[in-house]
Structure 1
Amino acid sequence: MKKLLYSVFVLCTLTSFGQKYVDTNNPKDEEVKSLLSKNNDLNAFGALDIKVGDLMDERALLVGAYGGFIINRRYLFGVAGYGLVTNVEFEGLVPGQATPKQLSLQGGYGGIVIGGTIAPRELIHISIPIVLGAGSLEVVDKDFFTNNPADSEFTVENSVFFVAEPGIEIEFNITEYFRLGAGMTYRYVSGTELENVKDEDITGTTAMISFRFGRF
């Protein structure tokens, strides 16, 4: 049910950012409006994001950035990338061992980012970013090689996965070239092939703060 609702949400959002057609009785006056028209206003931007959420039932911090172009002050398109910066530990199994032990999770994700802004000229407005892409996870045993303290880590297993992360932010125009946003995202993960980590262990809600710079 969650997958169906999410698919409908993404489809509706993408459709709202698509082309808009204005038909008239006179073919000569027919106008086709599109996001990539040469008449549109196009500006570059970059942003730093800090996200806090739960991974493996542990509170985790992810830091990343995204950048691209803003079209007509409303629509954005670019690329994004995020990485796990805190140590997420959990009890898991190392192949060949029957006793569970403390393991660590490492990884990140990235992809394209699309979205839109409602009332961008207002002091306080709404921004809706959506990240679509892929990521990579590693399950690491930090004390596997006990005879080599300098390099004791061992990668127990690793996997790539698909990620889709829609979000909503309340954004403030601090200056003409700087915006500060705060909001929530829902990170949906699918396709992990790990014994110790399932899709639902890294799917969930995050709180975020965003620092965006550019010509708005």
Structure 2
Amino acid sequence: MRTLFSFLILAAAWTAYSQDKEYRTIFDQRDMRISGLGGPFMQFTSVAGEFGHMMGGGAAVLLNDFFIGGYGLGLTNAIPDYVNDHSNDKLSLGHGGFWIGYSLFGEKPIHACISTLVGWGEFGIMGYDGYYPFIRDKIFTLAPVVELELNLTRYFRIGAGATYNIYTGLDEQRHGYSSENLSSPGGFLSFKFGWF
């Protein structure tokens, strides 16, 4: 009987002690705000030594100042195939994948934003008739981006900055273009709409 009484006292004390402890998670230190963002962006870069304008956009889930989502970019201007001496043929380039980033001090009117575009796509050479590429090659791309963003409204930001496009996986024997021909620095301009 005495053992049973001791056990009940210990169980009651343990229950009272357990109720005082609070269950904690990794997000307890601050309020977690989940929203979204999206919009168009563009790059001004060099493709095979020529000026290249790439246009696209992205959408992401926004977790406080961190965001993760997807993007797509494609070459918009005609770049002649000078490497193979076929100036009537044009280059095509496009890729898409994951868009990951962080806004440093995003609540400030002017702040920095760092992000990375990690994706895959296709490089090709189109015939003079402008139809589907007759030479196609799969590519992998990595493009770190550093921007200075301006909060124009609570729901709209404009960013301008720099990027470096790294392209890998090109088969130079197939079309004459290497990763060095396509990889280059460039400018980056973004228009982000969301709940910041």
Q: Taking structure 2 as the reference length, what is the TM-score of the superposition?
A: 0.80
Number of equivalent positions: 170
**Residue 174 of structure 1: aligned partner:** 152
Q: 1:126–1:201: structure 2 CA closer, same or farther, 3 Å change rule?
A: same
**Residue 177 of structure 2: aligned partner:** 197
Q: Equivalent residues in 2 for 1:67-82 (5 A)?
A: 67-72=59-64, 74-82=65-73
Deviation of the 1:195 alpha carbon: 2.3
- 1:215 and 2:186 are equivalent in the alignment: no
Q: In the TM superposition, what whole-angstrom CA distance separates every residue of 1:78-103 from its partner, at most 9, and x where no partner exists? A: 0000010000113244xxxxxx3213
Q: In the TM superposition, what whole-angstrom CA distance separates every residue of 1:9-68 from its partner, at most 9, and x where no partner exists? A: xxxxxxxxxxxxxxxxxxx6685426xxxx621101112102101001000100010001
**In 2, Cα distance between equivalents of 1:153 and 1:80:** 25
Q: Which of the residues 34, 46, 55 maps onto 2:38?
A: 46
Residues 92 and 133, structure 2, Cα contact 8 Å, conserved in 1:
no
**Paired amino acid for 1:178:** F
- 1:63 and 2:41 are equivalent in the alignment: no
SS in 1 for 2:180: helix
**In 2, Cα distance between equivalents of 1:52 and 1:190:** 19
The unaligned stretches of length 5 or more in structure 2 are 1-20
Deviation of the 1:154 alpha carbon: 6.9
Q: 1:42–1:141: structure 2 CA closer, same or farther, 3 Å change rule?
A: same
Deviation of the 1:137 alpha carbon: 1.1
**Residue 95 of structure 2: aligned partner:** 109
Deviation of the 1:197 alpha carbon: 1.3
Q: 1:152–1:70: structure 2 CA closer, same or farther, 3 Å change rule?
A: closer
Q: In the TM superposition, what whole-angstrom CA distance separates every residue of 1:123-171 from its partner, at most 9, and x where no partner exists? A: 10011111111010111221xxxxxxxx575734110111111110000
**Paired amino acid for 2:58:** Y
Q: 1:29–1:133: structure 2 CA closer, same or farther, 3 Å change rule?
A: same
The unaligned stretches of length 5 or more in structure 1 are 1-27, 94-99, 143-150
SS in 2 for 1:197: coil
- 1:163 and 2:141 are equivalent in the alignment: yes
**Paired amino acid for 1:183:** G
**In 2, Cα distance between equivalents of 1:41 and 1:89:** 47
Q: Which of the residues 119, 122, 127 maps onto 1:133?
A: 119
Q: Which of the residues 82, 89, 103 maps onto 1:91?
A: 82
Percentage of identical aligned residues: 25
Deviation of the 1:196 alpha carbon: 2.1
Q: 1:171–1:190: structure 2 CA closer, same or farther, 3 Å change rule?
A: same
Task: Indicate the RMSD between aligned Cα atoms, in angstroms.
Answer: 1.8
Deviation of the 1:204 alpha carbon: 1.0
Q: Equivalent residues in 2 for 1:1-16 (5 A)?
A: none
